[in-house]
Every structure is written in structure tokens, then in C-alpha cells.
Amino acid sequence: MPTDRSLDPIGVFDSGIGGLTVVAALQNLLPAENIFYIGDTARVPYGGKSRKTVERYSIEIGGLLLAERAKVIVVACNTASALAVPRMKDIFKVSVQGVVAPGAAAAVQNTKNKKVGVIGTRATMSSGAYEHAINGLDPEIQVFSVACPLLVPFIEEAMFDDKITDLMLARYLTPLLSNGIDTLVLGCTHYPLLRDAIARIAGPDVTLVDSAQNCALAVKSLLDSAGLSAPSERLGRLDVALTDATEGFLRTAARALELEIGEVSLRSVQSTQES
């Protein structure tokens, strides 16, 4: 028999809308699960903020998910995964799953020449989280990282197929490609929405890795081991809340990911000022 909490939702959050890429992977792998997603659109992006601020934001959004009876919290944000997951695991009684470790594992599995590139926000790159996670699995792998601070604003403006986006991607990726990488980690959950453009610039010899699918597998393992998996015969639903009304891009991203999103609710957050 399923436990009482098996019908409770998987809680997922991101600084904005990019975490819907993780939601899509969760729905594909775990169609019976309810998912409650919060996009902290009032304070996006997290990538330029301090560790202290990212921790505070993440704990606050995690609390909102617990208020929705989340049985596990998925941090579908690389910056928050790199900077806030350890603190969240200390505070919350439910399991907390980030996206850095699954993405690192996928990179290690895919690289043949042991040269891996990583792109992400300034905060994620400066944390060294991917280098630490990848080299913890295989210390012989060379990791080359580049911060791409302009990509999230472009994506949030739905500039998926735009010459300016392509020019910016080429500028960011050229140093990595010159180092001979054969694997590129999309170290931000927004970036898979630019996957086609990134693939064009990176070329066919570079394998693109995002953590969404591997994160979904990790969540499945967590739920199975804790006896929290929803009954397989049911069909789960997706509920979405935002901290600021930016539904336009939400709908654009949902169409790109083939997600069905009904009515969107709003959740209030505290001051956006860094303390």
C-alpha cells in the first residue's frame, strides 16, 4: 500500500522559468507524480547574488514548497544547487535534490577525451561546484568553465532563435572549444531551451549534457527508497506558482517543452534586497 505522503507533490523550484526543463524530465519519467513548481520570478536571476542571499532565497522558497506538502524538494537551479543545497539539507526534514551532482555524473559518463566544458552563471562557476563534483568522480578529467551572465536574460525574453543570442553563444563557447572539449555541461537549467543553438555552435563532436534527466532519475531513486512513489495507475498534475506575474514567457517555455500548465498562482516573498 502506498504511504499517505505518496500522493503529495514533488516540490520543484528555480530562480525563474528554466527549471521547467527539470519538470519536463520528471513528468516523462514519473507521470504518476504530482508536481508543484515555484519560479522565483520576482528575484531572477540568482546567478549574480552572494551565497548568503541565494541561501536565504532558497530556504524561503523551500518553505513555500513545504507549505504545499512537498514530499521532496528538487532544486532545479544550478546556482542554488551549488550554493544552498547543503544548508537546505541541514534545515529541512524532507530530502533535497540538486542538479549539480547528476549533471557532473552525466559529464563523466559521456566524455571520451577527459576534457569537459561547463557553462553557467557567475555564481555557479565561481563556486567551483562542477569542478569539485566532476573531479570527485574522476580526478583525471580537465574541467574548463565559462560564466555566461547574459544568457538567462536572453532566454527569459524568449530569444531562442536570435542572431544576437547566437553571437553571444559563440563568444562564450569559443574558449572552451579551443581547449578541445568533447563534452559540454549546460550548467543552468535555462540553457536547454537554447540547446539547438548551442549544438550548432559547439558542433557535432561535442556532446551536450544537461542535468534534467539525471536529476529525474535521482528523484525516482529517492522516492523509491523512501516508499514515497505515487501509485503507478494514476496520472499526476502540474501546478505552477510564480513570485511575480511573468506569464508570457512561462507560456512560451511551456510550449517549447510540451508542458500543460493551467491556472498560475502567485506567491509573495520578502524583500528582494540583499542583506
Q: How far apart are CA 166 and CA 181, in angstroms?
A: 19
Element (H, E) at 185: strand 183-186
CA distances from 114 to 44, 137, 176, 180, 242 (A): 34, 12, 13, 10, 40
CB 256 within 8 A of CB 193: yes
Give yes or no: 188 in active site. Answer: yes
Place of cell 541565494: 54
Q: How far apart are CA 20 and CA 255, in angstroms?
A: 11
Q: How far apart are CA 202 and CA 142, in angstroms?
A: 18
Which residue among the candidates 99, 129, 188, 194 is catalytic per the annotation? 188
Give yes or no: 215 in active site. Answer: no
Place of cell 529525474: 216
Q: How far apart are CA 47 and CA 181, in angstroms?
A: 24
Which residue among the candidates 42, 61, 65, 77 is catalytic per the annotation? 77
Residues identified as active-site:
77, 188
